[in-house]
């Protein structure tokens, strides 16, 4: 399953086209298998280190006594949180060496994030001098953060339900904009952070997420929307999530194989990341490889994308990522039954593509990929057959 920068923080909170059959036979390979797929920064950490010394550079971290480390922890963990800037007496501009002269002795590292007793986790940049590229404040940090206006400064674990009307989406958006104005130093009466692409509302089963240009607030749904996690990262543009429908043979997220890069980015914004020619958009859920003519050679979307696919004749007919497609082939055991069903829906209702060898099934460890003549689908390998990705290519 593809991970998403926000997913990394969520882990902290949880713990802290093919044509001829001969061509297919020669190149039975997943469209997505070999793509370099950077995760969002927040996808890759856990609360506790699995290797306490992993990644630490000998000689870079000064030795301090347990007593000094405790004194630092007690001093730093009550320092104010300056949203988007820092906490614990250090900032996003503090160097690696400077931070280790201020913070308590780190307890370890995991996936490139250094874990400190103050309940801070930091991923350091690669270039020298190293400064934070991701800065996470956990729920046990004792300093306050100013969220603006009459709300003032609040503690970690403050229940945000007291600022909201229950089950009222409008008050959530209003609160997002109010806090977003404060974080940008603007007048909330005249500044709309959504329109300025400096804030965005998101959520999953566990958290209500207030995302801002320089970071975000994660509010626990299980604990009266308590403030569980704050994270900072370099400033970014927060455009609304794409919701364009997925149209087999025609378009993915509103992008066709004839779309140009310039027109696409004018509509959806620049790529959030580029890795070896692969462009990532829409919070890493939309992936495009642009060819020399600046039109797509491959475009697909994956888990996290909010648009839906129409499955004609099925109930429900509109399905998105994470939805099950198992009902299309209830007795299917290896994916071929589902492949036949999809071919009959999207290509020809009177053909068996398996018998005609006009479709291809690729089976991986946890997922299957179904390649039809004009598009491809990725599903979970288990019986639920949940949709994981969908795309078109040349």
31: confidence class by pLDDT, cuts 50, 70, 90: low
The per-residue pLDDT for 62 is 78
Residue 180, pLDDT > 70, answer yes
Last residue of a domain, one of 117, 137, 157: 137
Domain count, the chain: 3
Residue 97, pLDDT > 90, answer yes
118 inside domain: yes
| Average pLDDT value for the chain | 88
For residue 296, the SS3 value is strand
Please give the share of the chain, as a percent, with pLDDT higher than 70: 85
Which whole-number Å values give the CA distances from 24 to 108, 159, 251, 352, 371, in the listed order?
Answer: 48, 56, 23, 17, 10
What whole-number distance in Å separates Cα of residue 134 and Cα of residue 112?
Answer: 10
Residue of 203, 96, 106 lying closest to 160 (CA atoms):
203
363: confidence class by pLDDT, cuts 50, 70, 90: very high
232: confidence class by pLDDT, cuts 50, 70, 90: very high
Last residue of a domain, one of 109, 137, 165: 137
For 284, residues 6+ apart whose C-beta sits below 8 A from its C-beta are 4, 5, 38, 39, 40, 272, 273, 304
The per-residue pLDDT for 9 is 55
Q: Which residue has the tokens 């491809």?
A: 376
11: confidence class by pLDDT, cuts 50, 70, 90: low
Q: Give the Cβ contact number of residue 319 at 10 Å.
A: 18
Say if residue 152 is in the same domain as residue 196.
yes
Say if residue 278 is in the same domain as residue 344.
yes
pTM exceeds 0.85, yes or no: no
The per-residue pLDDT for 112 is 82
Last residue of a domain, one of 137, 158, 193: 137
Which whole-number Å values give the CA distances from 242 to 71, 239, 270, 289, 381, in the listed order?
Answer: 48, 9, 13, 18, 27
Specify burial of residue 383 (Cβ count, 10 A radius: 0-12, 13-18, 19+).
exposed
The per-residue pLDDT for 50 is 42
Residue 256, pLDDT > 90, answer yes
- Domain residues for 157? 144-232
Say if residue 283 is in the same domain as residue 361.
yes
Mean pLDDT of 305-331: 97
What whole-number distance in Å separates Cα of residue 241 and Cα of residue 286?
Answer: 10
More confidently predicted of 203 and 339: 339
Structure tokens at 59: 């000689």
Residue of 126, 104, 130 lying closest to 115 (CA atoms):
104
Say if residue 251 is in the same domain as residue 192.
no
């Amino acid at each position: 399953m593809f991970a998403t920068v926000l997913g990394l923080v969520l882990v902290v909170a949880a713990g802290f086209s093919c044509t001829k059959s001969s061509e297919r036979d020669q190149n039975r390979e997943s469209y997505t298998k070999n793509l370099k797929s950077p995760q969002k920064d927040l996808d890759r950490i856990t609360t506790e280190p699995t290797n306490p010394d992993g990644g630490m550079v000998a000689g870079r971290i000064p030795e301090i006594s347990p007593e000094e480390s405790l004194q630092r922890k007690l001093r730093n963990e009550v320092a104010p949180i300056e949203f988007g800037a820092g906490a614990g007496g250090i900032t996003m501009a503090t160097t690696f060496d400077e931070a280790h002269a201020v913070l308590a002795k780190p307890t370890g590292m995991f996936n490139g994030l250094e874990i400190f007793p103050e309940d801070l986790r930091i991923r350091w940049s690669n270039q020298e001098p190293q400064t934070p590229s991701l800065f996470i404040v956990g729920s046990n940090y004792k300093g306050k953060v100013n969220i603006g206006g009459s709300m003032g400064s609040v503690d970690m674990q403050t229940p945000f339900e007291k600022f909201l009307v229950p089950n009222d989406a409008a008050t959530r958006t209003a609160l997002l904009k109010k806090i977003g104005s404060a974080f940008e130093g603007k007048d909330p009466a005249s500044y709309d952070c959504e329109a300025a692409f400096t804030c965005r509302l998101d959520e999953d089963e566990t958290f209500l997420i207030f995302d801002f240009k320089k970071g975000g607030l994660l509010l626990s749904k299980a604990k009266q929307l308590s403030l569980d996690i704050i994270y900072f990262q370099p400033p970014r543009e927060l455009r609304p999530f794409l919701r364009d429908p997925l149209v087999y043979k025609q378009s993915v997220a509103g992008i066709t194989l004839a779309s140009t890069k310039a027109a696409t980015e004018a509509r959806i914004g620049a790529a959030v990341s580029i890795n070896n020619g692969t462009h990532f958009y829409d919070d890493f859920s939309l992936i495009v490889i642009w060819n020399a003519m600046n039109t797509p050679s491959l475009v697909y979307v994956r888990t996290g994308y909010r648009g839906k696919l129409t499955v004609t004749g099925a109930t429900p007919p509109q399905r998105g990522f994470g939805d099950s497609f198992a009902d299309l082939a209830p007795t299917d055991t290896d994916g071929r039954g589902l492949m036949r069903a999809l071919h009959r829906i999207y290509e020809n209702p009177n053909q068996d593509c398996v018998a005609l060898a006009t479709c291809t099934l690729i089976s991986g460890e946890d997922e299957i990929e179904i390649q039809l003549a004009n598009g491809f689908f990725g599903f979970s390998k288990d019986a639920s057959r949940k949709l994981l990705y969908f795309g078109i290519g040349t």
